[in-house]
Amino acid sequence: MTKQQSKQIEWTEPDGTLISCEEKLKVLNENLDEIQQFCQDAFEDAVLMGCDETRVREIFESVVSSVKNPYNKKGPKQ
């Protein structure tokens, strides 16, 4: 994902309302750019060290899936 692509993402609130605050959008897009670059670097390291590309992607997906929402008062999503 390029910086241009991340800027085209439509960030939404839980009810589907688009986030329109420019400062929020800037922070969200910058965070996404940083995550993408960090993942790219880690991915390249893993492949260079001989790891299976598919397995690395599976591991990255499991990391993203395990991210917890500390603000969710309803408990974990079932």
pLDDT band at 7; cut points 50, 70, 90: low
The gap between the terminal CA atoms of the chain, to the nearest Å, is 30
| Residue 63 confidence (pLDDT) | 97
Cα–Cα distance, 73 to 42 (Å, whole number): 33
Cα–Cα distance, 1 to 35 (Å, whole number): 10
Residue 3 has pLDDT above 90, yes or no: no
Q: List the beta strands (DSSP E) in the chain.
A: none
| Residue 73 confidence (pLDDT) | 75
Domain boundaries, given as residue ranges, for the chain? 3-64
Residue 4 has pLDDT above 90, yes or no: no
Condensed to tens digits (0 to 9), the pLDDT of residues 15-72 reads 999 999 999 999 999 999 999 999 999 999 999 999 999 999 999 999 999 999 999 8
